[in-house]
Structure 1
C-alpha cells in the first residue's frame, strides 16, 4: 500500500507521536496554547513518509491538529480557571467573532496552496517570538484592552490565523493581551479558553474543506478512508489525544510556579524554533 514505508518506520512514528502527545499537553498548560505548533510539524513528517501529496499534507496536518486541541484546551482551561486566572469578560466578547474568523479560515483552507499555511506559521511565530524575547514594557498598544468593534476585530483575526496555523489561538491571544498590559499569567490562562473557541469549529471546517479531496489522489485514498474525515486524520488524533490530555494539567500547574520573565523567555524560544523549522521547509 505504501511501498516506501517499513514496519520499523511506522513503529518509530507511533512511539514519536505518543511522546509528542505528552509534550503537547505540557505546552498546552504551560503556555496557554493548544499545542498545534508541536503537532503540525510532527504530523507533517508522518504524512511525508506516507507519501501524502504536498497539496494535501499541510491542511491535513492543520485539521488534525485542531481536533487534538479540543481536549487539551479544555483540560488546560479548566485548570487555569480553577486558579481564578481566566478573564471571562474577554472570552465573552471574543467568542462569536473568533468563531466567525475560524469559519472564514476554513473556507480559505479548501483552496489555498500549502505555502500559505507555512508562511502564516512563520509570520505569526516570528513576530510573537521577537515580542517575547526582545520586547520592552513600553511596547504597548494601550493601557487596557479596547472595547467595542476593535476588540471584536481582534477576535476575527485571531480566528482566521489560528485556523490556518492549526493552533488553538493561544499564542495570538496572548500576544494581543500582553500588548494591552495584561500580566503574562492572566493572558496565558485566558488564551487557554480561546483554544476551545478555535478548535471545535475549526475541526468541523477542515472536515468540510477536505471532504472528497482524497478521491483525486489514489495513492492516499487508503490513508484517508476510513482513517480520516476530510482534512482530519483520525489515527493521528487517536495517538495524540490520550497523552496530551493527561499531561495538560502538569503544564498549567508549572506555569503558576514560574516567574513572568522565565515564562516569556521559554515561550519566545519555543516560538522561534517553530519559525525556523517552517522557514527551512520552504
Structure 2
C-alpha cells in the first residue's frame, strides 16, 4: 500500500502541473493511473474504468477550484468567454454523467481512447492550434458554439471524466487566445463537469465497490493521495503561467495528450 500511495502522490504532483499549465484538472493523468490501480484490486476489475472516471472528477473539483482562484487573482479569466458557455457545459454534464454510470466498461474505455486520438489529430492537422500570430485578435464565441457546443462539451467531458479542457482549450485557441489564457479559462469551465459528475458517481449503486474507502464509484484513498500531491504543486507552478513561449506551450499540450493515450491503450 505504501508503494501505491507514493506513486499516487507523484502522479498527483504531475496533475497539479497539468492543471495550471494546461487546464486539465488532472483528468488525463488521474484516469489512467487510477484505472491501473483499480484493476489490481480484488473484485474491482469489472468497474475499474468507472472508478477511474469517478475519482478523476472528484480530484478535478478541488484542483480546478484551486487553480481558478489563483487565475482569478491574476486577471486571466475573461467573463465574455465564461458566461453563458459555463451554464451550457453544466447542462451537458448532467446528461453525460448519468449516461456514463450505465455505459459498458469496454465502451467507456475505448471511447476515451478515440476521444484522445481524434483531439490530437485535429489539433495537428487544422491550423491555429500549434502556431498563433502575435497580432491575432481574439474573436467572440458564436451563439451555436456557446449553446449546442457547450452542452456537447459538458456531456462528453463528464462521460469520460476529463473535465472538458481537451475541447475548451482547442476551441479558445482557435478563437485567437494565447495558450496561457485558454488554459486558465479551462479550469473554471471544467468545474461544472467535475461537480456534477462527482455528485452522480458518488451516489451511484456500483455493485463492485464497497467499504469505507469508496463513496459510490469514487476511490477516497486514491483521491486523497492525488490531492496531497497536486495542491502544493498548483501553488508553486501557477507562478510560471505566462512565462512559457506560446508555441512550446501548445506543443507540450499535445505531447501530454499523446502520453495519456499511450498509457490507457497499453493498460
TM-score under structure 1 length normalisation: 0.85
CA distance in 2, matches of 1:276, 1:243: 23
TM-score under structure 2 length normalisation: 0.90
Gaps of 5+ in 1: 1-9
CA distance in 1, matches of 2:32, 2:101: 20
1:47 aligns with 2:42: no
Tell me which residue corresponds to 1:180.
Answer: 175
CA distance in 2, matches of 1:250, 1:194: 22
Gaps of 5+ in 2: 133-137
CA distance in 1, matches of 2:128, 2:258: 20
Q: Considering only aligned residues, what root-mean-square deviation do their CA atoms show, in Å?
A: 2.1
Tell me which residue corresponds to 1:70.
Answer: 61
CA distance in 1, matches of 2:178, 2:121: 18
CA apart distance, 1:183: 2.2
Tell me which residue corresponds to 1:237.
Answer: 223
1:216-255 correspondence runs (5 A): 217=208, 220=209, 224-255=210-241
Aligned residues, how many? Answer: 261
**Contact persistence 2:123–2:129 (CA under 8 A):** no
**Contact persistence 1:120–1:161 (CA under 8 A):** no
Tell me which residue corresponds to 2:141.
Answer: 146
CA apart distance, 1:279: 2.9
Structure 1 247/138 Cα, relative in aligned 2: closer, same or farther at 3 Å? closer
Tell me which residue corresponds to 2:75.
Answer: 84
CA apart distance, 1:67: 0.5
CA apart distance, 1:44: 1.0
1:1-282 correspondence runs (5 A): 10-133=1-124, 135-137=126-128, 144-208=139-203, 210-211=204-205, 213-214=206-207, 217=208, 220=209, 224-281=210-267
SS in structure 2 opposite 1:86? coil
**Contact persistence 1:168–1:196 (CA under 8 A):** yes
CA apart distance, 1:96: 2.0
